[in-house]
Structure 1
């Protein structure tokens, strides 16, 4: 049994440096694409080439030499990729490269290659590179697993270097940690400061770094931990001090969540602000109870109002749309009485979801 090969992981700055790719097939095209993304000056040597390489050559993206490999091709490049479909040619290229102390990546047989490229990708500004020696499929599987976890915010992605302060309003959805959006979860994991509401998915806070500042801004009937003005002030203050602030809310920030006031406070203070939408409880609440807010032949739409600002009751009573009332516990008796008074049938179905 062959002993494991000892290797040294390394990242190369190839910007502006000459790289030779020998071969003109699909493998060569993939390697060329990655090399160009790294800023390399790429030359391809191959008698024939796939359309992708021909197109790059036609537009000046690469230099294509339509002929067989020659030893003189090794004069000048910093790195060589042997990607032909002929094992003997690839072996010859490796041998000649080693004689000239040039690193060569042999695409057809990693076990006989002095160097190889890892399975790599970039997620949220983080480059993942995985290698398992002569088993590239295993490397790809591990890379994909890590990338998936980074993409959904299940791994640490918080920047460790100071950055410009900003505020991100994140809609947490119905409250369960698995019902927030992928983007919302990512922003929570990157935060330096989180100002959170009572109905936000608080389970996410259990997995944050210990130095993340957590500020409870929860509101409940007749009890506010912080006034809206205090919330506006704290998110602006932390952002101006260079922190990445997440304002974590339940539902959607712009559906009776006072998110627009917080955005305006940031804009007025010159603070960068973004909004990540969430699923509003106006939709998620009825759904959780098995109640559709629209149904063919019953209701073709719905109206959402605040129980604290009911508005024109006569118009609500006359409408045949589903009426969704948020924050309506305290005002429910008055609302029902006024709806009936203005002509709504007393037998109209009603559901109270809390």
Structure 2
């Protein structure tokens, strides 16, 4: 029998709480000056190529009065999708269908401030104007100046030249102490001419050990980076190669060295985003330190070849032997036997040696055979 009054009291208490909440909201709306909410919306670029991203900054502030909650909604144009929030924690999230961003304050905050990254689809045609509109959500409150509850921003879809960046480097690993030559090639893929370009290289690791030993004169150093700017221009199809030389210390053995490089700043009208940057990747071989060439052990010196004495030519003929004239000729004196082929060859060799050594003519006396001079 007592359960009915308890339920009635509970219902009355809940009603009182609800009435109190509504009364507080009404008082905020009816406060002197009322409630005035101002909404802002900006984009980081005014023109963009298909496939690129745009950063949209949205804000809503309670200028006068107060609200228990404040929100902002942003319908996304066709072909635009949500990528991420740049604030943590995020106050703007996409709705389940992905076509609207809903932003809400937390606790009793009286303002919303958020930056979100949005992406244009590659199928969004050039010449399209994308309109972004942010509208404040005040709940049941009535704004005394509703004209600033909404903010808009537009982005034109346009395309420019496709400029690509690519590293040319040796394949495989490199060794400490080895000079490694690389090139950063910038190519204008068209359709029009570009008058200048800037590329930025990010250098990691120890500043002194990993700094390139040589680079193009168009580059200048900044702490931890190199910036290369060219103003000669590139016609469609032309390329410019920036040379870089690297030498790695022994302590880098077994590591991987990376140098990200890309156009700077990113060309928002470049229709091809995939080739705007490239990473140089050099794998430094791990192994023992190179050993010096071994020095030969000390020992007895190798025998040196000795020069062969040069025969000296004589201007006088050897004296004849004591063999009588008309003898058998079997002696070994100054005369040669008629049939002594070995003796003849020896004489010829001696004559040749004398001629080669001194360049002198050898005098040969007429030989006697049977008492007659032999021609």
Find the structure with the greater CA-based Rg. 2
Q: Which structure is richer in relative contact order (CA contacts within 8 A, separation 6 or more)?
A: 2
TM-score interval, smaller chain? under 0.3
More strand by share: 2
- Give the structure-2-normalised TM-score: 0.22
Larger relative helix fraction = 1
TM-score, normalised with respect to structure 1: 0.23
